[in-house]
Amino acid sequence: MRDKHYRSVIKAVSWRTLGTIDTMVISYFVTGNLIWALSIGSIEVLTKMVLYYFHERAWNATNFGRIKVVKNDYQI
């Protein structure tokens, strides 16, 4: 079974939302500056979403770790 491209996009957006919130919180604790934390998170969200999309599509192109489900061609 193969995933559609929009599934990878939705997964990338949801994961990056969570990841960006985490990055902003950590950045705030490290810098103590809300503007810096928001700036770091804003840049990071775009670059990592694009990287995740291509990473997901590359994994989707390989069968590594997948099991092919074979339907029976008869019924009992």
Look at residue 71 and tell me if it is in a domain. Answer: no
Host domain of residue 46: 5-60
Q: Is residue 68 part of a domain?
A: no
In a domain, 67, yes or no: no
Taking residues 18-38, what's their average pLDDT? 94
Q: Please say if the pLDDT value at position 39 is more than 80.
A: yes
Q: Is residue 73 part of a domain?
A: no
Which pLDDT belongs to residue 70?
77
* C-alpha–C-alpha distance, residues 76 and 71, integer Å: 13
In this prediction the pTM is: 0.58
Residue 65 counted as domain residue: no
pLDDT score for 23: 92
What is the number of domains present in the chain?
A: 1
- Alpha helix (H) ranges present in the chain? 5-31, 34-60
